[in-house]
Amino acid sequence: MSRRVKAAADPNNGVRFDIRDVARLAGVSVATVSRTVNNVPTVNTAMAARVRDAIRELNYFPNTQARALVSGRSRLIGLLVPDITNPFFPELIKRFEETAVKRNYELLIGSTNYDSEIQHCLRRLIERNVDGVAIMTFGVEDPVLGDLSTRHIPMVFVDVSQEAFPQDAVMIDYRHGMEEAVRHLVALGHTEIGFISGPLNQHSATLRRIAFHESMAAAGCIPKEKFIVEGDHQLEGGMAGMTKLLDNPKPPSAVLCSNDLMAIGALRTLQTSGLRVPEDMSIVGFDDIHLAEFVNPPLTTVRMSQVELAREAIQVLIARIEKLNPADHPASQPVSTRLVIRGTTAPPRPRPRRK
């Protein structure tokens, strides 16, 4: 490359190169550059290598908007989550983004604040011309389907009830992980086991509560209604739920929580009540957020694979976007869950009175 071109390629001098400059430097056609940038596998290996070398030397960045105009596809995938402040969802978003980028798509996030912002989020996704939407928010199926279906925008529901319309869905096997958690507590000697559910207007919270009841029955235990309270999947909900359970003359010796945030809130209430975990009460969470292993004591919880969840959802959604033959891609499998034993569970023993 000439000294003049090298100087021009310096990103600090403000010069911007386009696809024709890359083609000229690489000695190939503009079409070959385009196919290389779009990862078309039929491009000659040597030509593709020259194109990539030229892209690096010129510090060239493809114009994605121009590509979208030509192809009619934005290569944007929308992801709707209910609460971006819940640590589970940023961790999940990271996995979604990693998976989408590998498939040459970008991610556009909408946090619905448990549905109060749903219409604003939908409008933003539609205005950006997303190719498809993955939906992890709850109880909004009808408005989502109405706005997206009429525009023929493919969607995949992640663990959301969508009985009114036959859309694709990725489901989660709550029962397996919950059954492992109940069996673990029963094996330790617990028979009085409580449960703090999420808000029951959310489909996933209802499924987790059902999984708890079924797991207790499978273990030969009868859940007591006074030991089952409704929370809100927030720290405060776990604190309030545990306060209600402790108001019982004889509280349960172990408590499962519908998610890790509530389990951490429950831990807080126990500690401020002068009770020790796991000596005075065992606690089990659900989700296995990154924070779970760093609380004191480290939280025993049910892990839901975020990598598996993102992979299944992106696979289903891209198959719909690209109109793949169902025979060409495997059917979505329920996302697995499994127990991770840490420091918040132990055999029951008589608890001291609260201070």
DSSP label of 335: B
- Give the homologous superfamily in CATH for domain 72-172+306-335: Response regulator (3.40.50.2300)
What's the angle, vertex CA 92, arms to CA 140 and CA 291, rounded to 5?
120
- Please name the residue that has the structure tokens 């997303």: 130
Rounded Cα–Cα distance for residues 304 and 322 (Å): 28
Q: How far, in Å, CA of 244 to CA of 223, rounded?
A: 16
Say which DSSP state 172 is in: B
Who wins on pLDDT, 343 or 123? 343
**Cα–Cα distance measured from residue 254 to residue 268, given in angstroms and rounded to the nearest whole number:** 15
Q: What is the pTM of this model?
A: 0.79
- Segment among 65-69, 280-284, 293-297 with least mean pLDDT: 65-69
pLDDT of 5 > 50? The answer is no
Average pLDDT, the chain: 86
8 A C-beta contact, residue 343 and residue 293: no
Residue 187 neighbours by CB distance under 10 Å: 10
User: Tell me, what's the pLDDT at 263?
Assistant: 98
Residue 166 pLDDT: 47
Domain 174-304 has CATH 2.40.50.140: no
Query: Own/partner pairs for 266-269, CB < 8 Å, 24+ apart?
Result: 266/196, 266/238, 266/239, 266/241, 266/242, 267/238, 267/295, 267/299, 267/344, 268/235, 268/238, 268/239, 269/238, 269/239, 269/242, 269/243
* 175-208 confidence digits (pLDDT tens): 999 999 999 999 999 999 999 999 988 888 899 9
The pLDDT-based confidence of 1 (bands split at 50, 70, 90) is very low
Long-range pairs, 138-146, Cβ under 8 A, ≥24: 138/82, 138/114, 138/201, 138/202, 138/203, 138/204, 138/205, 139/115, 139/201, 139/202, 139/203, 140/112, 140/115, 141/165, 143/118, 143/119, 144/80, 144/118
d(CA 26, CA 8): 16
Q: Please, are residues 138 and 202 in contact by the beta-carbon 8 Å criterion?
A: yes
* Cβ 77 vs Cβ 131: under 8 Å: yes
Instruction: List the domain boundaries for the chain.
Output: 3-62, 72-172+306-335, 174-304
pLDDT for 8 equals 44
* Per-residue model confidence as pLDDT tens digits over 95-120: 999 999 988 899 999 888 777 677 78
Structure-block tokens of residue 298 = 């480290």
Question: What pLDDT digit, counting tens, does each position of 304-318 carry?
Answer: 988 899 988 898 898
- Amino acid 139: pLDDT: 54
Q: Which CATH architecture best describes the domain 3-62?
A: Orthogonal Bundle (1.10)
Residue 204 pLDDT: 84
Tokens of 124: 């933003």
Fold: same for 72-172+306-335 and 174-304: yes
